[in-house]
Amino acid sequence: MKNNNSKTKIGHLLNTNRIVKISEILLVFILAFALIKILTPYAGDNQLLKFGIVWCTNILMIGLVWLGIKLRGQKWSDFGLTFGRIRLKESFRIFLLSLLVCILGLAGYMLGTLIMANISGMPESADLSVYEYLHNNIFMLILTLIGVYIISSFGEEVVYRAFLINRISELGLDTKYGKIATVLISAVIFGLVHYEWGPTGMVSTGLMGLVLGICYMKLKKKLWILVLAHAYMDTLLLVQVYLTSK
């Protein structure tokens, strides 16, 4: 994804200098990780405040991604994120494709769980105590879903699929096998950032990220399809937690 429309020196370096490209990737993730580690202890046992810290950090990551795009003289469409009206027929096609991607993503997640179950025995049930605030509270469920759609469904696809895959491919991995390596690297990073979910969670989310990365490339980087698919998965999780807590 080459572009010569940058009007600043740093934009030119982001387009041409490999070290600067790598530094951008590291900045996005190291800064986010450092902020979470520094601020989370101040939240104490307040789970909502902890979520707020993570969400604000993710917004910062999206902001840094956007800044990189602007400095390069690029547009969101270079990541496959387009805005504008679409025809009803195309909307229906996007909906069906997003359902397919959702199913494939869930299959990848479950495959990871099965693999870890065979390696280390049946994993412990996920600790859902962090969602206790949803108990009998439909308002908080709706509020949480809205936040998750913006931060997780949209934000994670922008950062872990669009940003990572495109930026890593610019490091000389724009060949057939390079693209495969790029998708694998993005999936590994996606799994590692879910370290609080334990080994099983990291493997499961990593395989889900691998499926989503493959879909991103196969669907010619139509990012909205992945955003919708991710939103379906997030909805299933939170609604299930809400119903279980009741």
Q: pLDDT value at position 222? A: 94
Q: Residue ranges of the alpha helices (H) in the chain? A: 9-16, 18-43, 47-72, 88-120, 138-148, 155-156, 164-169, 176-192, 198-218, 223-245
Question: Comparing C-alpha atoms, which of 219, 84, 73, 87 is closest to residue 157?
Answer: 219
195 burial (CB, 10 Å; 0-12 / 13-18 / 19+) is exposed
pLDDT truncated to tens, each residue of the chain (246 aa)? 555 677 789 999 999 999 999 999 999 999 999 999 999 898 887 777 888 888 899 999 999 999 999 999 999 999 999 888 888 889 999 999 999 999 999 999 999 989 988 887 765 555 556 677 777 788 888 988 998 999 889 999 999 999 999 999 999 887 888 889 999 999 999 999 988 888 888 999 999 999 999 999 999 999 999 999 999 999 998 888 888 755
Q: How crowded is residue 75: how many other Cβ atoms within 10 Å of its Cβ?
A: 14
pTM: 0.89
Give me the long-range contacts of 49-53 (CB less than 8 A, separation at least 24).
50/130, 51/144, 51/147
